[in-house]
Structure 1
Amino acid sequence: MKKIWTFLAEARAELRKATWPSWDEVSRSTLVVFVTVIIFAVLIYLVDGGVERALSALIGG
């Protein structure tokens, strides 16, 4: 049980040393992630549609 408390105390000490991002940095990073996800989703949708049409043309369906 002592090892668990030691671990938790050390983890808390390390977390206090961390440099946390500001709210502005977090919101900008979140926006970048959302835009990137939307762009990749559209690209995958377009490629999937192209592959589907190509396979349909090859198979004759």
Structure 2
Amino acid sequence: MTSTVEVKGASLDIAKLAGAALLLIVGIFAFYYFAPWSALLRVLGLLVIAGAAVAIALQTEPGRALWQFIADARMEVRKVVWPTRQETIQTTLVVMAMVVVVGLVLWLFDTVLMAILRFLTGQGG
């Protein structure tokens, strides 16, 4: 068996990703170069350039894989059974109560250990 490696597609993907990165760098440079201009115009220009860079990056194999991953993640999030408001409130109250209880237990443990340490070292009243 022989396997062939597709070098042409990979090099084209690298060129597209490099172009997208260069476009972002140029956009950031332009954002600061045109500092005297309106901030709104600079932000809009940067958003347009960033959108173009993302569009170019999504035309590559890694870009398509990332987009597929995002789509799969959204589909999985839709399958989640989210708790009701009442369940969320009850769970939050239980967590807050346990934080207080554990805090008190740790404080008591610290106090007892400190008293033992003071007794053993002869410090304190």
TM value normalised by structure 2: 0.48
2:117 alignment partner, SS class: helix
1:15 maps onto 2:77 in alignment: yes
Q: What is the RMSD computed on CA atoms of the aligned residues? A: 0.5
Structure showing greater relative contact order (alpha-carbon pairs closer than 8 Å, 6 or more residues apart): 2
4+ residue runs over 2 A deviation: none
Q: Structure 2 matches for 1:1-61, cutoff 5 A?
A: 1-61=63-123
1:21 alignment partner, SS class: coil
1:31 alignment partner, SS class: helix
2:83 alignment partner, SS class: coil
Aligned residues: 61
Structure 1 unmatched ranges of 5 or more: none
Q: Deviations over 1:16-53 (max 9, x none)?
A: 01100000000000000000000010111011000001
% identity of equivalent residues: 34
Cα shift at 1:60: 1.1
Cα shift at 1:3: 1.0
- The amino acid across from 2:82 in the alignment is W
Distance 2:65 2:111 in 1: 56
- The amino acid across from 2:110 in the alignment is D
- The amino acid across from 2:81 in the alignment is T
Structure 2 unmatched ranges of 5 or more: 1-62
TM value normalised by structure 1: 0.97
